[in-house]
Amino acid sequence: MKAWVWCFILGVVGATSAATSQAANLLSDWQPSSVVGPAKCQKCHKPQYRVWEDSPHNIGFLDEEFDSEEIAEKMGVSDPESSSALCSQCHFTRGAKLHGELATVSCESCHNPAKNWLETHGTYRDAAGKKVNKKEQEAPVQRQKRLAAADRAGMVRPGHAYRLAKNCLSCHLVPNQKLINQGGHPSKLAFELLSWSQGKQIRHNFSLGSHNPPVPKSRQRLLYVMGQMVQYELLLKMTQSATGKYAQVQKEKLQQTRNRLKQIQAKLGDPLVAKVLSATNAGQAAQAAKTFASKYSQGISSSTVDSLLPAANTYKN
Protein backbone atom coordinates (compact mmCIF):
# COMPACT_ATOMS: atom_id res chain seq x y z
CA MET A 1 0.00 0.00 0.00
CA LYS A 2 1.58 3.29 -1.08
CA ALA A 3 1.28 6.08 1.46
CA TRP A 4 -0.08 8.58 -1.07
CA VAL A 5 -2.99 6.33 -1.99
CA TRP A 6 -3.90 6.12 1.62
CA CYS A 7 -3.69 9.89 2.15
CA PHE A 8 -5.91 10.27 -0.85
CA ILE A 9 -8.58 8.06 0.61
CA LEU A 10 -8.58 9.65 4.03
CA GLY A 11 -8.84 13.17 2.73
CA VAL A 12 -10.30 16.00 4.69
CA VAL A 13 -11.67 15.29 8.12
CA GLY A 14 -14.89 17.18 8.49
CA ALA A 15 -16.84 18.60 11.34
CA THR A 16 -18.54 16.14 13.62
CA SER A 17 -22.00 16.19 15.01
CA ALA A 18 -23.26 17.16 18.41
CA ALA A 19 -24.57 14.49 20.75
CA THR A 20 -28.26 13.73 20.95
CA SER A 21 -30.26 13.15 24.05
CA GLN A 22 -32.64 10.52 22.72
CA ALA A 23 -31.41 7.08 23.69
CA ALA A 24 -33.01 5.18 20.83
CA ASN A 25 -31.45 7.46 18.28
CA LEU A 26 -27.89 8.44 19.02
CA LEU A 27 -27.44 10.20 15.69
CA SER A 28 -28.28 13.88 15.44
CA ASP A 29 -27.47 14.54 11.80
CA TRP A 30 -29.72 11.92 10.23
CA GLN A 31 -32.04 13.25 7.49
CA PRO A 32 -34.46 10.52 6.38
CA SER A 33 -35.89 12.63 3.56
CA SER A 34 -32.43 12.77 1.96
CA VAL A 35 -32.08 9.01 1.47
CA VAL A 36 -31.65 8.13 -2.23
CA GLY A 37 -31.22 4.34 -2.00
CA PRO A 38 -28.46 1.92 -3.00
CA ALA A 39 -29.49 1.61 -6.66
CA LYS A 40 -28.14 5.14 -7.15
CA CYS A 41 -24.77 4.17 -5.70
CA GLN A 42 -24.58 1.02 -7.78
CA LYS A 43 -24.21 3.07 -10.94
CA CYS A 44 -20.67 4.10 -10.01
CA HIS A 45 -19.75 1.64 -7.24
CA LYS A 46 -20.52 -1.78 -8.73
CA PRO A 47 -18.03 -3.87 -6.73
CA GLN A 48 -19.01 -2.20 -3.44
CA TYR A 49 -22.64 -2.83 -4.29
CA ARG A 50 -21.99 -6.51 -4.95
CA VAL A 51 -20.40 -6.94 -1.52
CA TRP A 52 -23.31 -5.19 0.14
CA GLU A 53 -25.85 -7.23 -1.82
CA ASP A 54 -24.46 -10.45 -0.33
CA SER A 55 -23.95 -8.98 3.14
CA PRO A 56 -26.02 -9.70 6.27
CA HIS A 57 -27.24 -6.09 6.10
CA ASN A 58 -29.22 -6.81 2.97
CA ILE A 59 -31.74 -8.98 4.78
CA GLY A 60 -34.51 -6.89 6.27
CA PHE A 61 -37.54 -8.53 7.81
CA LEU A 62 -38.77 -10.36 4.76
CA ASP A 63 -36.18 -13.05 5.22
CA GLU A 64 -37.69 -16.30 6.45
CA GLU A 65 -35.03 -17.02 9.03
CA PHE A 66 -35.86 -13.75 10.74
CA ASP A 67 -38.23 -14.40 13.62
CA SER A 68 -39.38 -10.95 14.67
CA GLU A 69 -43.00 -11.51 15.53
CA GLU A 70 -42.52 -12.29 19.18
CA ILE A 71 -40.49 -9.16 19.86
CA ALA A 72 -42.90 -7.04 17.84
CA GLU A 73 -45.86 -8.38 19.76
CA LYS A 74 -44.27 -7.69 23.13
CA MET A 75 -43.50 -4.17 21.96
CA GLY A 76 -47.06 -3.62 20.76
CA VAL A 77 -45.79 -3.08 17.23
CA SER A 78 -48.45 -4.31 14.81
CA ASP A 79 -46.46 -3.93 11.61
CA PRO A 80 -42.68 -4.18 12.15
CA GLU A 81 -42.15 -3.63 8.43
CA SER A 82 -43.70 -0.19 8.45
CA SER A 83 -41.27 2.67 8.06
CA SER A 84 -42.72 4.37 11.10
CA ALA A 85 -42.22 1.33 13.33
CA LEU A 86 -39.38 1.37 15.80
CA CYS A 87 -37.81 -1.68 14.17
CA SER A 88 -37.03 0.23 10.97
CA GLN A 89 -34.53 2.44 12.85
CA CYS A 90 -32.01 -0.37 12.83
CA HIS A 91 -33.28 -3.12 10.55
CA PHE A 92 -33.95 -0.86 7.61
CA THR A 93 -32.50 2.34 6.23
CA ARG A 94 -33.56 4.56 9.07
CA GLY A 95 -36.75 6.50 8.58
CA ALA A 96 -36.78 6.19 4.80
CA LYS A 97 -40.02 5.39 3.00
CA LEU A 98 -39.69 1.68 2.63
CA HIS A 99 -39.68 -0.18 -0.59
CA GLY A 100 -37.39 -2.90 -1.90
CA GLU A 101 -33.78 -2.11 -1.19
CA LEU A 102 -34.48 0.42 1.53
CA ALA A 103 -36.12 -2.23 3.66
CA THR A 104 -32.55 -3.23 4.55
CA VAL A 105 -29.53 -1.66 6.17
CA SER A 106 -28.09 -0.01 3.06
CA CYS A 107 -25.15 2.16 1.93
CA GLU A 108 -26.55 5.31 3.49
CA SER A 109 -27.09 3.64 6.86
CA CYS A 110 -23.31 3.85 7.19
CA HIS A 111 -22.39 6.72 4.83
CA ASN A 112 -25.40 8.94 5.73
CA PRO A 113 -28.25 10.11 3.50
CA ALA A 114 -26.82 11.18 0.17
CA LYS A 115 -29.17 13.60 -1.56
CA ASN A 116 -27.03 16.63 -0.80
CA TRP A 117 -23.65 15.06 -1.52
CA LEU A 118 -24.42 12.49 -4.22
CA GLU A 119 -23.47 14.74 -7.11
CA THR A 120 -20.60 16.65 -5.48
CA HIS A 121 -18.67 13.79 -3.97
CA GLY A 122 -18.18 11.94 -7.26
CA THR A 123 -17.42 14.77 -9.65
CA TYR A 124 -13.78 15.30 -10.62
CA ARG A 125 -12.64 18.74 -11.80
CA ASP A 126 -9.42 20.06 -13.28
CA ALA A 127 -7.54 23.14 -12.07
CA ALA A 128 -9.88 25.41 -14.06
CA GLY A 129 -12.95 23.83 -12.41
CA LYS A 130 -14.04 21.98 -15.55
CA LYS A 131 -15.57 18.51 -15.08
CA VAL A 132 -13.22 15.67 -16.05
CA ASN A 133 -13.83 11.95 -16.13
CA LYS A 134 -10.67 10.45 -14.71
CA LYS A 135 -9.35 10.52 -11.21
CA GLU A 136 -5.85 11.21 -12.59
CA GLN A 137 -7.09 14.42 -14.21
CA GLU A 138 -8.43 15.83 -10.97
CA ALA A 139 -6.50 18.81 -9.59
CA PRO A 140 -5.41 18.28 -5.93
CA VAL A 141 -7.03 21.55 -4.87
CA GLN A 142 -10.31 20.43 -6.47
CA ARG A 143 -10.12 17.17 -4.63
CA GLN A 144 -9.85 19.04 -1.35
CA LYS A 145 -12.85 21.15 -2.35
CA ARG A 146 -14.87 18.11 -3.45
CA LEU A 147 -14.38 16.28 -0.18
CA ALA A 148 -14.91 19.39 1.93
CA ALA A 149 -18.22 20.02 0.14
CA ALA A 150 -19.30 16.40 0.64
CA ASP A 151 -18.39 16.71 4.32
CA ARG A 152 -20.46 19.87 4.70
CA ALA A 153 -23.38 18.06 3.08
CA GLY A 154 -23.15 15.36 5.74
CA MET A 155 -21.32 12.53 4.00
CA VAL A 156 -19.63 9.97 6.24
CA ARG A 157 -16.47 8.69 4.56
CA PRO A 158 -13.48 6.51 5.47
CA GLY A 159 -11.73 9.70 6.66
CA HIS A 160 -14.35 10.01 9.41
CA ALA A 161 -13.46 7.08 11.63
CA TYR A 162 -15.35 8.60 14.56
CA ARG A 163 -18.61 9.03 12.70
CA LEU A 164 -18.39 5.66 10.96
CA ALA A 165 -17.97 3.97 14.32
CA LYS A 166 -20.87 5.94 15.73
CA ASN A 167 -23.17 4.89 12.90
CA CYS A 168 -22.43 1.17 13.42
CA LEU A 169 -22.74 1.36 17.18
CA SER A 170 -25.96 3.38 17.19
CA CYS A 171 -27.61 0.21 15.89
CA HIS A 172 -25.36 -2.53 17.22
CA LEU A 173 -25.47 -1.46 20.87
CA VAL A 174 -29.28 -1.58 20.68
CA PRO A 175 -29.71 1.67 22.65
CA ASN A 176 -33.34 1.20 23.60
CA GLN A 177 -34.39 0.20 27.12
CA LYS A 178 -37.94 -0.81 26.37
CA LEU A 179 -36.91 -2.95 23.43
CA ILE A 180 -34.63 -5.03 25.62
CA ASN A 181 -36.56 -4.97 28.91
CA GLN A 182 -40.03 -5.42 27.52
CA GLY A 183 -39.47 -6.75 23.99
CA GLY A 184 -36.76 -9.25 24.90
CA HIS A 185 -34.71 -8.08 21.94
CA PRO A 186 -31.20 -9.61 21.70
CA SER A 187 -28.24 -7.44 22.68
CA LYS A 188 -25.01 -9.29 22.20
CA LEU A 189 -21.74 -8.25 23.73
CA ALA A 190 -19.69 -8.88 20.63
CA PHE A 191 -19.58 -5.81 18.35
CA GLU A 192 -16.02 -4.75 17.62
CA LEU A 193 -15.32 -2.35 14.77
CA LEU A 194 -12.16 -3.84 13.25
CA SER A 195 -13.22 -7.49 13.09
CA TRP A 196 -16.81 -6.64 12.12
CA SER A 197 -15.89 -4.17 9.34
CA GLN A 198 -12.87 -5.88 7.76
CA GLY A 199 -14.13 -9.42 7.32
CA LYS A 200 -15.35 -10.57 3.92
CA GLN A 201 -19.01 -10.00 4.87
CA ILE A 202 -18.74 -6.21 5.06
CA ARG A 203 -15.35 -5.10 3.73
CA HIS A 204 -15.40 -3.12 0.45
CA ASN A 205 -12.03 -1.47 0.01
CA PHE A 206 -11.90 -1.50 -3.78
CA SER A 207 -10.09 1.81 -4.04
CA LEU A 208 -7.18 0.10 -2.27
CA GLY A 209 -7.10 -2.58 -4.98
CA SER A 210 -9.54 -4.46 -7.18
CA HIS A 211 -9.06 -7.56 -4.98
CA ASN A 212 -10.67 -5.68 -2.05
CA PRO A 213 -7.80 -5.96 0.47
CA PRO A 214 -8.23 -5.30 4.19
CA VAL A 215 -7.17 -1.81 5.29
CA PRO A 216 -3.47 -1.34 6.14
CA LYS A 217 -2.21 -2.20 9.61
CA SER A 218 -2.01 1.43 10.76
CA ARG A 219 -5.68 1.83 9.87
CA GLN A 220 -6.58 -1.46 11.56
CA ARG A 221 -5.14 -0.12 14.81
CA LEU A 222 -7.17 3.06 14.48
CA LEU A 223 -10.39 1.14 13.80
CA TYR A 224 -9.84 -1.02 16.86
CA VAL A 225 -9.16 1.88 19.22
CA MET A 226 -11.86 4.10 17.71
CA GLY A 227 -14.44 1.36 18.08
CA GLN A 228 -13.70 1.06 21.79
CA MET A 229 -13.69 4.82 22.37
CA VAL A 230 -17.01 5.43 20.68
CA GLN A 231 -18.55 2.41 22.33
CA TYR A 232 -17.45 3.79 25.69
CA GLU A 233 -18.91 7.21 24.90
CA LEU A 234 -22.29 5.81 23.87
CA LEU A 235 -22.48 3.41 26.79
CA LEU A 236 -21.76 6.23 29.26
CA LYS A 237 -24.88 7.90 27.93
CA MET A 238 -26.95 4.74 27.65
CA THR A 239 -26.30 3.54 31.19
CA GLN A 240 -27.50 6.76 32.76
CA SER A 241 -30.78 6.02 34.51
CA ALA A 242 -30.95 2.55 32.96
CA THR A 243 -33.01 -0.18 34.59
CA GLY A 244 -33.71 -3.91 34.36
CA LYS A 245 -31.99 -6.31 31.98
CA TYR A 246 -30.98 -3.37 29.78
CA ALA A 247 -29.01 -1.83 32.63
CA GLN A 248 -27.35 -5.13 33.35
CA VAL A 249 -26.37 -5.84 29.75
CA GLN A 250 -25.17 -2.34 28.95
CA LYS A 251 -23.23 -1.93 32.20
CA GLU A 252 -21.48 -5.18 31.48
CA LYS A 253 -20.53 -3.85 28.06
CA LEU A 254 -19.35 -0.59 29.64
CA GLN A 255 -17.09 -2.47 32.05
CA GLN A 256 -15.73 -4.66 29.27
CA THR A 257 -15.01 -1.61 27.12
CA ARG A 258 -13.36 0.17 30.02
CA ASN A 259 -11.04 -2.80 30.53
CA ARG A 260 -10.13 -2.81 26.86
CA LEU A 261 -9.39 0.92 26.93
CA LYS A 262 -7.13 0.38 29.94
CA GLN A 263 -5.23 -2.28 28.02
CA ILE A 264 -4.95 0.10 25.08
CA GLN A 265 -3.72 2.87 27.34
CA ALA A 266 -1.08 0.60 28.90
CA LYS A 267 0.33 -0.01 25.39
CA LEU A 268 -0.26 3.34 23.70
CA GLY A 269 0.13 5.79 26.58
CA ASP A 270 -1.85 8.51 24.82
CA PRO A 271 -3.34 11.37 26.86
CA LEU A 272 -6.52 11.23 24.77
CA VAL A 273 -7.20 7.63 25.79
CA ALA A 274 -6.65 8.75 29.39
CA LYS A 275 -9.21 11.52 28.79
CA VAL A 276 -11.80 9.06 27.57
CA LEU A 277 -11.17 6.87 30.62
CA SER A 278 -11.53 9.77 33.02
CA ALA A 279 -14.63 11.19 31.28
CA THR A 280 -17.61 11.48 33.60
CA ASN A 281 -20.08 12.05 30.78
CA ALA A 282 -20.52 11.15 27.13
CA GLY A 283 -19.74 14.68 25.92
CA GLN A 284 -16.25 14.61 27.43
CA ALA A 285 -15.56 11.17 25.97
CA ALA A 286 -16.85 12.30 22.55
CA GLN A 287 -14.55 15.30 22.53
CA ALA A 288 -11.48 13.18 23.28
CA ALA A 289 -12.51 10.50 20.76
CA LYS A 290 -12.98 13.06 17.98
CA THR A 291 -9.61 14.65 18.74
CA PHE A 292 -8.05 11.18 18.70
CA ALA A 293 -9.59 10.50 15.27
CA SER A 294 -8.07 13.71 13.88
CA LYS A 295 -4.69 13.09 15.50
CA TYR A 296 -4.50 9.63 13.93
CA SER A 297 -6.38 10.34 10.71
CA GLN A 298 -3.50 8.68 8.83
CA GLY A 299 -3.63 5.65 11.11
CA ILE A 300 -1.61 4.63 14.18
CA SER A 301 1.96 3.94 13.11
CA SER A 302 3.22 2.55 16.40
CA SER A 303 2.84 -1.24 16.69
CA THR A 304 2.46 -1.28 20.48
CA VAL A 305 -1.25 -2.15 20.42
CA ASP A 306 -0.87 -5.03 17.93
CA SER A 307 -1.13 -7.76 20.55
CA LEU A 308 -4.61 -6.46 21.43
CA LEU A 309 -6.04 -6.53 17.90
CA PRO A 310 -8.46 -9.35 17.11
CA ALA A 311 -6.79 -12.01 14.94
CA ALA A 312 -7.75 -12.07 11.26
CA ASN A 313 -9.36 -15.51 11.63
CA THR A 314 -11.89 -14.03 14.08
CA TYR A 315 -13.12 -11.45 11.55
CA LYS A 316 -16.72 -11.74 10.38
CA ASN A 317 -16.20 -13.66 7.17
In angstroms, what is the minimal distance from the CB of 278 to ligand HEC?
27
Query: Any contact of residue 216 with ligand HEC (CB under 6 A)?
Result: no
Query: Any contact of residue 105 with ligand HEC (CB under 6 A)?
Result: yes
Q: Which stretch binds ligand HEC (CB under 6 A): 204-212, 270-278, 283-291, 292-300?
A: 204-212
Q: Which is nearer to ligand HEC, 56 or 244 (CB)?
A: 56
Query: Any contact of residue 176 with ligand HEC (CB under 6 A)?
Result: yes
Query: Any contact of residue 211 with ligand HEC (CB under 6 A)?
Result: no
Query: Any contact of residue 110 with ligand HEC (CB under 6 A)?
Result: yes
Query: Any contact of residue 157 with ligand HEC (CB under 6 A)?
Result: yes
In angstroms, what is the minimal distance from the CB of 191 to ligand HEC?
6
Among 13, 17, 111, 166, binds ligand HEC (CB under 6 A): 111
In angstroms, what is the minimal distance from the CB of 277 to ligand HEC?
24
Among 13, 98, 168, 254, binds ligand HEC (CB under 6 A): 168
- Taking the C-alpha atoms of residue 38 and residue 76, their distance in angstroms, rounded to an integer, is 31
Query: Any contact of residue 151 with ligand HEC (CB under 6 A)?
Result: no
Among 101, 108, 233, 270, binds ligand HEC (CB under 6 A): 108
In a 10 Å sphere around its CB, with 0-12 CB exposed, 13-18 middle and 19+ buried, how is residue 277 labelled?
middle
Query: Any contact of residue 1 with ligand HEC (CB under 6 A)?
Result: no
Q: Which is nearer to ligand HEC, 9 or 277 (CB)?
A: 9
Q: Hey, what amino acid is at 52?
A: W
Query: Any contact of residue 300 with ligand HEC (CB under 6 A)?
Result: no
Query: Any contact of residue 30 with ligand HEC (CB under 6 A)?
Result: no
Three-state SS for the chain is CCHHHHHHHHCCCCCCCCCCCCCCCCCCCCCHHHCCCHHHHHCCCHHHHHHHHCCCCCCCCCCCCCCCHHHHHHCCCCCCCCCCCCCHHHHCCCCCCCCHHHCCCCHHHHHCCCCCCHHHHCCEECCCCCEECCHHHCCHHHHHHHHHHHHHCCCCCCCCHHHHHHHHHHHHCCCCHHHHHCCCCCCCCCCCHHHHHCCCCCCCCHHHCCCCCCCCHHHHHHHHHHHHHHHHHHHHHHCCCCCHHHHHHHHHHHHHHHHHHHHHHHHHCCHHHHHHHHCCCHHHHHHHHHHHHHHCCCCCCCCCCHHHCCCHHHCCC
Instruction: Tell me which residues touch ligand HEC (CB under 6 A).
Output: 9, 11, 36, 38, 40-41, 43-45, 48-49, 52, 56-57, 59, 66-68, 71-72, 75, 77, 80, 86-87, 89-91, 94, 105-111, 114, 118, 121-122, 135, 157-159, 164, 167-168, 171-172, 174-176, 179, 183, 185-186, 188, 196-197, 201-202, 204-208, 215, 219, 223, 316
